[in-house]
C-alpha cells in the first residue's frame, strides 16, 4: 500500500490539476468513538456520517486535499472474534461510500 500522504492519494487529471478532494472513510474502535472501553468492545460495525473523535485531527492534516466523509466504528473484541465477517461488512460499507481510501490505525 502507498504511504499515507495526501500527495500519493490525489487524483490528477490533464495538466496535473486536481480533480477534487479524496473521500476518506476513517475506521476507529469503540474507545476512540467515545462509546466505551472493554465493556463495549463487542459492538458490531456501524457507520456514521462525517468525522468522529480523533478524525478531526486527521482531517485537519489533509489540508483540504482530502476529507473524511464517514467514520466506521467497530468494537475491538467483536472484530477479533469475527475477523472475516467484520472485514466483509466494513469493506462493503466503504464501497457504498465510493471512497478511494480508508484510514485505520488497526489492521483491517
What is the DSSP code string of 56-72?
HHHHHHTTTSEEEEEEE
Say yes or no to pLDDT of 1 above 70.
Answer: no
Interval 45-94: pLDDT, tens: 999 999 999 999 999 999 998 999 999 999 999 999 999 999 999 989 98
Using alpha carbons, select from 19, 1, 17 the residue that is nearest to residue 107.
1
- The pTM of this model reads 0.78
107: pLDDT confidence band, cut at 50, 70 and 90? Answer: low
Segment 96-106 mean pLDDT: 70
Q: Where are the domains of the chain?
A: 24-104
Amino acid at each position: 500500500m502507498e504511504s499515507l500522504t495526501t500527495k500519493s492519494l490525489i487524483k490528477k487529471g490533464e495538466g496535473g490539476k486536481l480533480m477534487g478532494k479524496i473521500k476518506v472513510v476513517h475506521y476507529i474502535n469503540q474507545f476512540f468513538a467515545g462509546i466505551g472501553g472493554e465493556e463495549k468492545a463487542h459492538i458490531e460495525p456501524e457507520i456514521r456520517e462525517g468525522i468522529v473523535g480523533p478524525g478531526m485531527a486527521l482531517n485537519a492534516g489533509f489540508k483540504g486535499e482530502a476529507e473524511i466523509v464517514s467514520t466506521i466504528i467497530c468494537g475491538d473484541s467483536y472484530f477479533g472474534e469475527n475477523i472475516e465477517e467484520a472485514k466483509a461488512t466494513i469493506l462493503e460499507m466503504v464501497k457504498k461510500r465510493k471512497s478511494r481510501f480508508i484510514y485505520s490505525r488497526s489492521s483491517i
